[in-house]
Structure 1
Amino acid sequence: MKETRSPPPGSRDGWLDLLRALAVSLVLASHGSWFFAHPEESVFANVTATLGVEIFFVLSGFLVGGILFEQVASGASWQSLLPTFWARRWIRTLPSYYLFLGLNILIYQNSGLPPLAPYFAFLQNFAHPIPPFFPESWSLAIEELFYLFFPLIVMAFSKVHGRTTRTFIAAGAFVFLVSLATRIGAVILFEPTMEAGIRKVAIFRLDAIMTGVFAYIALRWIRPSHKPALFVAGLVILAFSVLILAQPQGELDHSFFARTLLFNLVQLSVALLIVAGVGLVQLPNATLAGVTALSKWSYSLYLINLPVIIVIHSFWRMEPHASWATLVSAVLYASICLILAAGLYHYFERPILGWRDRKTLATA
């Protein structure tokens, strides 16, 4: 089959921006359900949270993993490739992460803090459930650990088998299968719960990001005529996944399939939707600016929304069954999150990214 050129990783694509905006909207909607009674029993909260983060994982693999794939294929020396890749990744993510780590320390200092050293090294949920402190950091730890170790595994495979696409895929398959095998082994041996015991434990979830990397590689050989079928297949698999995710949490906690292969099914649906729409979908001008802004603010939105909820609850004791209070709290929550995220992006994230680009381009 003729190889087609993949879009430049990291460049803005309306379809990818839409998926990223959808992902953060799902996470905000899930956490926003905490204003209602018994959110831990909410099917809506469970489904939206799972879908939102899985979209983030696959998108991250597609974009950041795609950058790594292109750098490896370029033939750049490992001595220059690895420091540049890690520097660009860490300058993008670490400043905001440590800013909110400090903010969470201030918020939780009166209610007790867990050992903080693991949080500075992204080991807070490496092989065990994450503590209640800074709970949203579980997914960030998975991403940072993946992008620390995966390039080293690719390098090790390349030293033995040469620097080829096949070698890169083999290294990715190794990471994917090890992560899946540890997840299956944990379910068989320890019977963990789906949410805390599997979904949010780093060593069980590295295959999620790897799925996005595979999607980037696969896009090189997918013909445009295949994309409509892939889009339909992605929607069908996604709908089937949602039906399973909508089961009561108690059933999911005892389901072997839900705790092992269901994650891969969701990721497959997202990967199919990505490759089906990237480079083809054009957003209407009326929505393009809003979607792009929401996409750019997504990292700040992900980090800011739980502290906003905590502050609102601490100052405003509301009756969860009162419809007016629910509406007001939802509008207040969404408004504060958007305002703060926009400010953080424009006055904190973007200046750091500009400095990063100047430094790394100058070094290159």
Structure 2
Amino acid sequence: MKTANEKNTDIQILRAIAILLVIAQHIRSRLPTPQAYHEIFNHVMFWPGVDIFFAISGFLICKTFYRDINTSISKSDAIRSFWRRRVARLLPAVIFWAIASVAISTLTESYPNTDPLLVAKSAASGILGVSNIYWASCVQFSLQCGSADYNAVTWSLSLEWQLYAISTLIFSVAGFKRGILILAAISVLFSIFPAPSFSFQWVFRPQAFVIGAAIYFLTRNIYIQLKTITSLLILIAGISICILSPLNITHPYMIPFISLGAGLCLISTLSGQSISAIPSKTLEWVGERSYSIYLCHLPMILISRELLIRLDLFTPSYVSFILGLATALSLIVISAEASYKLIEAPFQRKFSKRKLTLKSHSTV
């Protein structure tokens, strides 16, 4: 039986799958993409990988805040501890890659709309946790915001910050059972409206996050042991729903279907060690560094693109595509490893320890 403190390696593998889906979406057209790769997108889309991340976040945030509420002497103490760990986990790497995006924009001369001042403005929105509002405003109001390819990925991080704030507030005031019901009602309300890409409904979608939180709350006292084949079948079903829904489900049902698929992906990991029973050290490595990979992958793709253009190798072909992909993946691996080892891990060790006044120690 998996102990309470044992790491859920299945979730790490799911993180790896999610970030690989996102990268598969983003290399399209940014590298010299052959027609065969474009054809894939007539059948599936990979951007719902981000909704898998939302489901994981909802599950883990509910789990950690539930633990904090039940082991701290006060709600305010639990909230302080929760946010201390979240800030240590997320903010330092965002700041670094936001600054790096501005520097990279001065080097990628061939890419359109790369005014460093506009890139800096969008970078600031990511640091401040309002990137989703910023980019939705850019798209909906046709503002001059520059290229989204340097740090627009922070839109999802900003949404997560906002969902952390809303969910912890609701849980603190209403309790977890009623809190989950309130969040579910909010999700149903959001599911009524169409959510085209980078509309405000699209960048404020809470459904997968809430499904993840609900899955934790409903299974928190249940020991779940799935066989590896069962976990894999559930995972495949969830991924299939996620990547097929964008082209086969119409609004306003598309995001809810994707969120249900993300929820299935999460359910496949509940045993903790089922999927990872298959040798998967590479996927575990990717999953552990998925946050840094998410932050750095687009700038590294754009650097690879710039190198190909300067070497006159950008004409779409399999050779150019493989060369560009190999270069981009190499840069992503190196950058993510450095970001994880030098930024993520040190800040987590220094600031993210739980500093709670435990209830068991509060009486004399």
- TM-score using structure 2 length: 0.78
Deviation at 1:332, TM superposition (A): 0.9
Q: Give the residue type in structure 2 aligned to 1:243.
A: L
CA contact (8 A) 1:30 1:45 kept: no
Residue among 112, 122, 126 paired with 2:129: 122
Deviation at 1:242, TM superposition (A): 3.6
Residue among 59, 63, 69 paired with 2:60: 63
Structure 1: runs of 5+ lacking an equivalent: 158-166
Please give the alpha-carbon distance, in whole angstroms, between the structure 2 residues aligned to 1:223 and 1:362.
27
Q: Give the residue type in structure 2 aligned to 1:136.
A: V
Q: Give the residue type in structure 1 aligned to 2:246.
A: L
Question: How far does the alpha carbon of each residue in 1:138-185 deviate from its partner, in whole angstroms, 9 at most, with x for none?
Answer: 11011111112211111121xxxxxxxxx3032122123224313424
Deviation at 1:67, TM superposition (A): 0.6
- Cα–Cα, structure 1 residues 45 and 156, in superposed 2: closer, same or farther, change >3 Å? farther
Please give the alpha-carbon distance, in whole angstroms, between the structure 1 residues aligned to 2:3 and 2:67.
11
- Cα–Cα, structure 1 residues 130 and 183, in superposed 2: closer, same or farther, change >3 Å? farther
CA contact (8 A) 1:32 1:333 kept: no
- Cα–Cα, structure 1 residues 316 and 229, in superposed 2: closer, same or farther, change >3 Å? closer
1:298 aligns with 2:290: yes
- Cα–Cα, structure 1 residues 292 and 101, in superposed 2: closer, same or farther, change >3 Å? same
Q: How does 1:279-298 map to 2 (within 5 A)?
A: 279-284=273-278, 286-288=279-281, 290-298=282-290
Please give the alpha-carbon distance, in whole angstroms, between the structure 1 residues aligned to 2:316 and 2:201.
30
- Cα–Cα, structure 1 residues 213 and 6, in superposed 2: closer, same or farther, change >3 Å? farther
Structure 2: runs of 5+ lacking an equivalent: 107-113, 139-146, 359-364
Q: Which residue of 2 aligns with 1:173?
A: 181
Q: How does 1:331-342 map to 2 (within 5 A)?
A: 331-342=326-337
Deviation at 1:235, TM superposition (A): 4.1
**Range with greater deviation from structure 2 (86-95 or 96-105):** 96-105
Please give the alpha-carbon distance, in whole angstroms, between the structure 2 residues aligned to 1:24 and 1:237.
15
Q: 4+ runs of 1 displaced by more than 6 Å?
A: 38-41, 225-231
Q: Which residue of 1 aligns with 2:244?
A: 243
Residue among 71, 75, 78 paired with 2:75: 78
Q: Give the residue type in structure 1 aligned to 2:83.
A: W
Please give the alpha-carbon distance, in whole angstroms, between the structure 1 residues aligned to 2:326 and 2:201.
29
Please give the alpha-carbon distance, in whole angstroms, between the structure 2 residues aligned to 1:127 and 1:104.
16
Report sequence identity in percent: 20
Please give the alpha-carbon distance, in whole angstroms, between the structure 2 residues aligned to 1:283 and 1:211.
26
Q: Which residue of 1 aligns with 2:11?
A: 16
Residue among 78, 90, 95 paired with 2:92: 95
1:147 aligns with 2:164: yes
Aligned length: 331
- TM-score using structure 1 length: 0.78
